[in-house]
A = this chain, B = another copy of it.
Amino acid sequence: MAEGNVAADQLRLFIERIERLEEEKKSMADDVRDVYAEAKSNGYDTKTMRKIVALRRMETHVRQEADALLDTYRNALGLA
Assess whether B72 is in contact with A48, with CB atoms less than 8 Å apart: yes
Q: Could you tell me the dominant secondary structure of chain A's interface residues? A: helix
Which residues of the other chain, B, contact A47 by a CB distance below 8 angstroms? Answer: 72, 76
Write out, one digit per residue, whether chain A residues 25-54 have a CB within 8 A of any chain B CB (1) or not (0).
100110110011011001011011101111
Q: Which residues of B contact A51 (CB under 8 A)?
A: 65, 68-69, 72
Interface size on A, residues (CB 8 A): 43
Is A58 touching B56 in the complex (CB atoms < 8 A)? Answer: no
Q: Among the listed B48, B55, B56, B65, which residue makes an inter-chain contact with A54, where contact means beta carbons less than 8 Å apart?
A: B65
Q: Judging by beta carbons under 8 Å apart, are A55 and B49 in contact?
A: no
Bound form: Cα–Cα A53–B65 in Å: 11
Name, among A28, A59, A65, the residue most crowded by chain B CB atoms within 10 Å (CB to CB): A28
Contact check, B65 vs A62: say whether CB atoms are below 8 A apart: no
